[in-house]
């Protein structure tokens, strides 16, 4: 039996062994998501507006969606879930203007549609845990009144996460339950029924999701695992692509809300890293390069922590010239009140990202 410490081993095998180790280290380092990303921009920004607190204490505020008023964008709305009571509707100044006490609504989204007879009509969907259903709503463009239109009842015990998708004139809702089962429903023209077109399952609890309609990509936030991409089309493959994983130095469980921002200069996927009280911004195209790690800190209103749902709209509305980012705040601590939502000016955030990028260019001026 050969002795590995022999001179022959040292002269012949050690160089080969060292080369193999170096190669293995390179491969692992190239794929090891725990390796720090030295190009990641770290930002601290402040919200411009906060909403009135929800009317129920404890863990109540959860998710939001932004309705762009087609007549007067300054009169746009934020429609948010109070998962102990229903929907809360806010204006762009954060004032509560309507409350719909419909039970335990968890996640909410919307798409523009012709389903109810108007070219400029929004369909709003929310996951309804009280009725075990998809709750569907319409919005009057003049009065801004939100109205329950109908429900699609499910065989889920605990409906949980929800997001919407539009392809052509077809409107779809993705909804899941606590077990990780996803269903994709096509909303029918009567606005009170749907057709189940696909079902698939993930391995653990997932809530946050968002669809980039332009690329037909469904993004899933699996709470203890990371962010994944799936084909959103009903006949699409359900094989998941990794966007980012928990433990990669960016996301810390739970991974919660997701949102998409698109304008002519920026395409961003945003994810809430609840465990680190932060948000990660990614380029909205494969391989989804991380761009910035963002914290919302105290300013004219208090910062945010342990955020669940988020929403972004890139359209100019009121004071928000490049759109607004709505963020749930778990601990509304200034003063100590019930949970609420914070509004971040996207123009401010994008400017900070661009300045940080410029400062890293080789010819950037050094002070």
- The DSSP string of 82-99 is ETTTEEEEE-TT--EEEE
DSSP at 322? T
pLDDT, mean of residues 55-66: 95
Structural domains in the chain, CATH included, are: 36-359 (2.120.10.30)
pLDDT digits (tens, 9 = 90+) for 222-262: 999 999 999 999 999 999 999 999 988 899 999 999 999 99
Residue-level pLDDT at 190? 82
What is the total residue count of the chain?
367
Query: Do the Cβ atoms of 221 and 256 come closer than 8 Å?
Result: yes
Alpha carbon distances (Å) from 318 to 73, 93, 315:
6, 9, 10
Residue-level pLDDT at 120? 79
User: 71, 58, 241: which is closest to 143 by C-alpha?
Assistant: 71
Query: Do the Cβ atoms of 269 and 244 come closer than 8 Å?
Result: no
pLDDT digits (tens, 9 = 90+) for 331-342: 998 667 899 999
Mean pLDDT rounded to a whole number for the chain? 88
What pTM does this model have?
Answer: 0.87
| pLDDT(2) > 50 | no
pLDDT digits (tens, 9 = 90+) for 303-316: 999 999 999 999 99
pLDDT, mean of residues 16-30: 37
Query: Do the Cβ atoms of 188 and 213 come closer than 8 Å?
Result: no
């Amino acid at each position: 039996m050969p002795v590995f410490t022999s001179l022959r081993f040292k002269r012949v095998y050690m160089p080969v062994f060292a080369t193999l180790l170096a190669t293995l280290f390179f491969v692992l380092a190239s794929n090891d998501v725990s390796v720090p990303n030295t190009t990641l921009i770290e930002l601290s920004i402040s919200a411009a507006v906060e909403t009135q607190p929800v009317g129920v204490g404890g863990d109540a505020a959860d998710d939001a969606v932004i309705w762009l008023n087609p007549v007067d964008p300054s009169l746009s709305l934020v429609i948010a879930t109070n998962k102990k009571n229903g929907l809360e509707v806010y204006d762009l100044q954060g004032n509560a203007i309507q409350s719909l006490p419909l039970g335990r609504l968890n996640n909410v989204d919307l798409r523009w549609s012709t389903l109810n007879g108007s070219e400029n009509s929004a369909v709003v969907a929310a996951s309804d845990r009280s009725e075990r259903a998809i709750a569907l709503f319409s919005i009057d463009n003049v009065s801004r009144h939100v109205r329950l239109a109908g429900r699609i009842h499910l065989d889920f015990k605990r409906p949980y996460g929800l997001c919407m998708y539009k392809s052509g004139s077809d409107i779809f809702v993705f909804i899941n339950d606590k077990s990780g089962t996803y269903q994709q429903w096509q909303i029918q023209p009567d606005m009170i029924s749907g057709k189940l077109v696909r079902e698939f399952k993930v391995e653990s609890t997932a809530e946050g999701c968002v669809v980039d309609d332009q690329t037909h990509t469904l993004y899933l936030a699996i709470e203890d695992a990371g962010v994944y991409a799936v084909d959103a089309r009903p006949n699409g493959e359900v094989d998941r692509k990794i966007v980012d994983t928990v433990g990669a130095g960016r996301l810390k469980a739970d991974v919660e809300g997701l949102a998409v921002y698109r304008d002519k200069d920026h395409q961003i996927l945003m994810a809430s890293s609840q465990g680190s009280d932060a948000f990660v911004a990614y380029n909205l195209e494969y391989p989804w390069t991380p761009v910035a790690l963002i914290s919302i800190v105290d300013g004219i209103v208090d910062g945010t922590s342990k955020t669940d749902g988020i929403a972004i709209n890139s359209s100019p509305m009121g004071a928000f010239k490049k759109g607004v980012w709505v963020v749930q705040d778990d601990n509304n601590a200034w003063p100590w009140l019930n949970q609420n939502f914070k509004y971040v000016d996207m123009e401010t955030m994008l400017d900070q990202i661009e300045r940080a990028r410029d400062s890293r260019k080789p010819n950037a001026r050094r002070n």
